[in-house]
């Protein structure tokens, strides 16, 4: 196999054996669905229902506010029992609509699909936006914005991200195995919207079954499947573009600046549903996994399902949880509680026990240079982190701190256990704050 890759990175144990062989299972509805108005990058949606309202599945609960925003929908039918701030995966209470499902799970009958061949590009984009489609790899950037590059940008390549380089996660892997028709249909719609021919699905070589399955399925559709070396962060947008096309996104720019749009394979499947069936994004696949989970699974989850409910479907906890992580172990966010709901960007729920954590005190940097050799952006993490510890904002900026993609390779490899990416994240905040002040 001709494996492509990028320069840098590393290969942590992928730990996908917990759930890679488990077929997607539909998670039963919980007693309460907690649906936050902010589930995407950009302006939070504006809640347009009130306590006591009866809602159908797919009905709009909150309307998009501005261009970089998407609406939010009910993920099952039932009664709105509260509209109030609830604990959000971001770590603080944020406005949410709480629904008590009626158990019928009835779709809103006004939602109708269309044949994408018959629709104009503008109409397709509108359907994608109205369905609340966001990047489902975890970044949750509104998809219709990515599909609307300014006229002067020439886009010639669509890259589909099926890399899933985060250890433990297998949601995209299962989707590619079980739902390839929806993915391919979504790709064809995106190709039409972007008015281009070249579409490449990038998949890491640790998923040979998915590579084989999609290669066969894609032959008739002129879509390339590109096997990629198992190397974290192969699925980071910039690294994926480099691996698949040899192009680099200019520093401070976006993929469209080098003629590329990247979409996650899960997003493609959601786009297909949005257009063909008229169904908004109200459910997603999430991997519930980790040494702290009795029976790891890949679950099809209604948006708003509390994490505790997901765990209950997987046999519960094996011991006291020490870390609850939404997403993967390299870039996921730790959670305050299992009451937090799964949202559109929830690719996984990972539970670590105390004994699974690495809790070492940081020592002095011994200048071994490993953080530099693994940095996929080729920064000098130890230097930037040293500036960050001294709050030397300008010096950190000069070292291109803003180019850091926060993949975590530097912290992962550091023998001195220094929190390198954490320091860089901190100083990036400082650089942005200073920029706003000027």
Partner 1 sequence: MDKQLYLSSSPHIHSGETTDKVMRLVIYALLPATLLAIYFFGLPALSTLLICTLGCIGFEALSCKLLKQPPTIADGSAALTGILLAFNLPPSIPWWIALLGAATAILIGKQIYGGLGYNPFNPALVARVVLLISFPVQMTRWTAPAPLASGIDAITAATPLGEMKTVVSLTGKLPELANSGFMDYFTGNMGGSLGEVSALALLLGGLFLIYKKVISWHIPVSFLGTVLVIGGIFWLVDPGRYPSPVFHLLTGGLLLGAFFMATDMVTSPVTYKGMLIFGFGCGLLTILIRLFGGYPEGVSFAILLMNAVTPLIDRTCRPKIYGQVAQQA
Residues between 216 and 245 with contacts to partner 1, criterion CB under 8 A = 238, 242
406 binds partner 1 (CB under 8 A): yes
Residue of the chain from 198, 215, 248, 318 that contacts partner 1 (CB under 8 A): 248
Q: Which residue has the tokens 């519960």?
A: 316
Q: What is the SS3 assignment for 88? A: coil
**What residues contact residue 343 under an 8 Å CB cut-off, 6+ apart?**
36, 39, 88, 89, 140, 303, 304
Q: Are 70 and 36 in contact (CB under 8 A)?
A: no
Report how far residue 111's alpha carbon sits from residue 122's, in angstroms, rounded to the nearest whole number.
Answer: 18
In the region spanning residues 76 to 95, those forming contacts with partner 1, defined by CB under 8 A, are 91
The nearest distance, CB 239 to partner 1, in angstroms, is 8
In the region spanning residues 155 to 174, those forming contacts with partner 1, defined by CB under 8 A, are 167
Could you tell me which of 76, 64, 71, 58 has the C-alpha nearest to residue 305?
76
The nearest distance, CB 403 to partner 1, in angstroms, is 6
406: left (phi over 0), alpha (psi -120 to 50) or beta: left
Q: Which stretch in 32-40, 278-286, 293-301, 333-341 sits in contact with partner 1 by CB under 8 A?
A: 333-341
Binding map of partner 1 across residues 5-44, x = CB under 8 A, - = no contact:
-----x-x--------------------------------
Beta bridge mates, 133: none
Look up residue 237 and give its two tokens.
């947008």
- For the packed helices 180-194 and 171-178, what is the interaxial angle rounded to 10 degrees? 90
**What's the order of all strands across the beta sheet hosting 198-204?**
224-228, 198-204, 157-161, 260-264
250 binds partner 1 (CB under 8 A): yes
Q: What is the SS3 assignment for 366? A: coil
288 binds partner 1 (CB under 8 A): no
The nearest distance, CB 396 to partner 1, in angstroms, is 14
The nearest distance, CB 258 to partner 1, in angstroms, is 6
Q: Are 227 and 129 in contact (CB under 8 A)?
A: no
The nearest distance, CB 135 to partner 1, in angstroms, is 18
Q: Which is nearer to partner 1, 188 or 370 (CB)?
A: 370
Look up residue 306 and give its two tokens.
């509390």
Q: Which stretch in 57-65, 78-86, 379-387, 388-396 sits in contact with partner 1 by CB under 8 A?
A: 379-387
430 binds partner 1 (CB under 8 A): no
Residue of the chain from 34, 214, 330, 393 that contacts partner 1 (CB under 8 A): 330
376 binds partner 1 (CB under 8 A): yes
Q: Which is nearer to partner 1, 184 or 340 (CB)?
A: 340
Q: Which is nearer to partner 1, 94 or 405 (CB)?
A: 405
Strands (E) located in 303-359: 321-326, 333-334, 348-353
Q: Which stretch in 50-58, 105-113, 298-306, 335-343 sits in contact with partner 1 by CB under 8 A?
A: 335-343
Look up residue 342 and give its two tokens.
């799964």
Q: Which stretch in 125-133, 214-222, 277-285, 361-369 sits in contact with partner 1 by CB under 8 A?
A: 361-369
The nearest distance, CB 30 to partner 1, in angstroms, is 18
Q: Where are the alpha helices (DSSP H) in 95-219?
A: 121-130, 143-146, 171-178, 180-194, 208-218
In the region spanning residues 257 to 286, those forming contacts with partner 1, defined by CB under 8 A, are 257-259
Beta bridge mates, 117: none
Q: Which is nearer to partner 1, 226 or 382 (CB)?
A: 382
Q: Which is nearer to partner 1, 215 or 422 (CB)?
A: 422
What backbone phi and psi angles, to 5 degrees, belong to 204? -70, 145
Q: Are 292 and 324 in contact (CB under 8 A)?
A: no
Q: Which stretch in 32-40, 107-115, 121-129, 356-364 sits in contact with partner 1 by CB under 8 A?
A: 356-364
Chain mean position to CA 172: 10
Q: Are 19 and 297 in contact (CB under 8 A)?
A: yes
Q: Which residue has the tokens 């939010």?
A: 72
Q: Is the Cα torsion angle 328, 9, 159, 228 positive or negative in sign?
A: negative
How many of the chain's residues bind partner 1 (CB under 8 A)? 71
Residue of the chain from 324, 340, 384, 396 that contacts partner 1 (CB under 8 A): 324
208 binds partner 1 (CB under 8 A): no
- For the packed helices 171-178 and 265-272, what is the interaxial angle rounded to 10 degrees? 50
Q: What is the SS3 assignment for 29? A: coil
Q: Which stretch in 18-26, 47-55, 99-107, 323-331 sits in contact with partner 1 by CB under 8 A?
A: 323-331
Q: Which is nearer to partner 1, 278 or 345 (CB)?
A: 345
Q: Which stretch in 73-81, 143-151, 218-226, 409-417 sits in contact with partner 1 by CB under 8 A?
A: 409-417
Q: Which stretch in 31-39, 136-144, 197-205, 325-333 sits in contact with partner 1 by CB under 8 A?
A: 325-333
- For the packed helices 420-437 and 381-389, what is the interaxial angle rounded to 10 degrees? 60
Residue of the chain from 322, 392, 395, 431 that contacts partner 1 (CB under 8 A): 322
């Amino acid at each position: 196999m001709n494996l492509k890759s990028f320069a840098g990175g590393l290969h942590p144990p992928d730990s996908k054996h917990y759930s890679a062989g488990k077929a997607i299972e539909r998670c039963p509805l919980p007693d309460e669905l907690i649906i936050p108005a902010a589930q995407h990058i950009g302006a939070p949606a504006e809640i347009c229902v009130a306590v006591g309202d009866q809602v159908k599945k797919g009905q709009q609960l909150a309307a998009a506010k501005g261009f970089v925003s998407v609406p939010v929908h009910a993920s099952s039918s039932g009664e709105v029992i509260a509209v109030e701030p609830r604990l959000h995966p971001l770590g603080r209470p944020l406005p949410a609509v709480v629904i008590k499902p009626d158990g019928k799970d009835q779709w809103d009958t006004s939602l109708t699909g269309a044949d994408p061949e018959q629709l104009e590009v503008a109409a397709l984009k509108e359907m994608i936006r109205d369905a609340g489609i966001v990047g489902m790899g975890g970044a949750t950037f509104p998809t219709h914005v990515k599909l609307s590059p300014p006229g002067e940008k020439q886009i010639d390549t669509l890259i589909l991200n099926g890399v899933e380089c985060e250890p433990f996660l297998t949601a995209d892997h299962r989707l590619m195995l079980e739902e390839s028709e929806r993915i391919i249909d979504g790709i064809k719609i995106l190709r039409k919207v972007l008015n281009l021919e070249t579409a490449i699905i990038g998949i890491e070589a640790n998923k040979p079954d998915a590579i084989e399955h999609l290669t066969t399925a894609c032959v008739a559709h002129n879509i390339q499947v590109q096997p990629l070396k198992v190397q974290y962060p192969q699925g980071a947008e910039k690294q994926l573009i480099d691996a698949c096309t040899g192009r680099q996104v200019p520093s401070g720019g976006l993929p469209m600046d080098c003629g590329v749009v990247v979409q996650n394979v899960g997003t493609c499947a959601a786009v297909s549903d949005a257009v063909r069936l008229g169904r908004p994004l109200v459910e997603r696949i999430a991997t519930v996994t980790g040494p702290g989970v009795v029976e790891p699974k890949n679950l099809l989850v209604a948006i708003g399902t509390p994490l505790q409910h997901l765990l209950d479907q997987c046999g519960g906890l094996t011991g006291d949880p020490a870390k609850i992580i939404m997403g993967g172990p390299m870039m996921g966010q730790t959670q305050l509680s299992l009451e937090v709901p799964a949202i559109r960007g929830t690719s996984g729920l990972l539970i670590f026990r105390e004994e699974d954590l690495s809790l070492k005190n940081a020592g002095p940097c011994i200048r071994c240079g490993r953080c530099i050799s693994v940095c996929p952006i080729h920064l000098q993490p130890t230097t930037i982190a040293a500036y960050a510890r001294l709050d030397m904002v300008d010096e950190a900026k000069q070292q291109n701190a803003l180019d850091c993609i926060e993949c975590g390779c530097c912290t992962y490899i550091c023998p001195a256990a220094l929190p390198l990416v954490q320091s860089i994240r901190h100083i990036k905040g400082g650089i942005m704050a200073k920029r706003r002040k000027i």
